[in-house]
Amino acid sequence: MPMKKKRMTGRERKAQIVKAASLLFSKKGFKGTSTREIAKAAGISEATIFKHFSRKDELYSAIIDTCCNDDEGRYHLMKSIEGKEGREFFKGVAAYFIERFDEDPGFARLLMFGALEGRRFTDIFMKSRGMDTVDLLAGHIKGLMRAGVFKRRDPELSARAFLGMVLHYCTAQEIYGFKRFFDRPPRKVAATFVDIFFNGMEKETGP
């Protein structure tokens, strides 16, 4: 007698929908992907999608959670920088993003499509994770300024400058195809960017 197929839990079904939607969105864009296509890719009905996600915003948020958080909802980045200070803290941030985008290049395409197609996905990402990261970096920059290590500069703008350098590298590797011609170990790239940033931010010491 054939074994009865185990029924998915609500959590497993949501994960299945998110996975199918992420893959299609990263290939065809948000506007170019219909719920019918997502349902077909997931092997379910459209009604099942709406049972779990009543609005697209809910699906967008779930995709970001899946890409950025662990099973308990904690930001993966926090584990990468736990207990780190100074240069090691910034190396941890840079390495996290470089390795994350390398492991999941589709996320770079999701952000690109989000920015081009009404920005809703990108806005949700920025409010939930982007600005949190800027604030985190700015806080450490302020600390280094108070300690006399960094010059007095706009902390938030300095944080954006550092993050912009890292994220431009990540997106250029995937979106512009630089990774076909430019291959460096992620940790080496992270260390180089941190050196460039610190060389511009550190106070000059006397002879």
Q: pLDDT tens digits for 126-162?
A: 988 899 999 999 999 999 999 999 999 999 999 999 9
Q: pLDDT tens digits for 160-199?
A: 999 999 999 999 998 888 999 988 999 999 999 999 999 9
pLDDT for residue 1: 46
Q: pLDDT tens digits for 2-43?
A: 555 567 787 889 999 999 999 999 999 998 999 999 999 999
User: Would the CATH topology of 10-67 be identical to that of 71-201?
Assistant: no
55 has pLDDT over 50: yes
- Tell whether the torsion through CA atoms of 193, 66, 155 and 176 is positive or negative: positive
The yes/no answer on whether domain 71-201 falls in CATH 1.10.357.10 is: yes
The yes/no answer on whether domain 10-67 falls in CATH 1.10.10.60 is: yes
> What distance separates the 2 farthest-apart alpha carbons in the chain?
85
Domain range summary for the chain, segments of one domain joined by +: 10-67, 71-201
DSSP string, 16-55: HHHHHHHHHHHHH-STT--HHHHHHHHTS-HHHHHHH-SS
